[in-house]
Amino acid sequence: MDDLALSVRYARPADAADLARIYIESWQDTYAGLIPHSLLGAMSLKGHTARWQATMRGPGAVLVAEDSAHGAIGLASLGTARDGALGYEGEIYTLYVDPAFLGRGAGRALMAGAFETFKDRKLRSCLVWAHAQNNACFFYERMGGKRVATRTVSLMGAPTPETGFGWKQLAARRQARTIQS
Alpha helices in the chain (DSSP H): 16-30, 37-41, 45-57, 106-120, 136-142
Burial class (CB in 10 A: 0-12, 13-18, 19+), 123: buried
Could you tell me the pTM of the whole model? 0.91
CB contact set of 35 (below 8 Å; sequence gap of 6+):
27, 155, 156, 158
Per DSSP, the three-state class of 139 is helix
The answer for 157, left when phi > 0, alpha when psi is -120 to 50, beta otherwise, is left
Rounded to an integer, the average pLDDT of 149-157 is 88
The answer to whether residues 103 and 3 touch, using CB atoms and an 8 Å cutoff, is no
- Residue 152 binned pLDDT confidence (cut-offs 50, 70, 90): very high
How confident is the model over 52-109, as pLDDT tens digits? 999 999 999 999 999 999 999 999 999 999 998 999 999 999 999 999 999 999 999 9
Domain ranges of the chain: 6-180
Q: Per residue in 105-132, pLDDT tens? A: 999 999 999 999 999 999 999 999 999 9
Q: Is the CATH code 3.40.630.30 the one for domain 6-180?
A: yes
Q: Which residues contact 165 (CB under 8 A, 6 or more apart)?
A: 127, 128, 129, 130, 137, 140, 141, 145, 146, 147, 148
**Please, how many CA atoms are within 13 Å of residue 157, restricted to the half-sphere of its CB?**
5
φ, ψ of residue 173 to 5 degrees: the values are -75, 125
User: How far is 82 from 69, CA to CA, in rounded Å?
Assistant: 36
Question: CB of 92 within 8 A of CB of 128?
Answer: yes
Cα-to-chain-centroid distance, residue 174 = 21
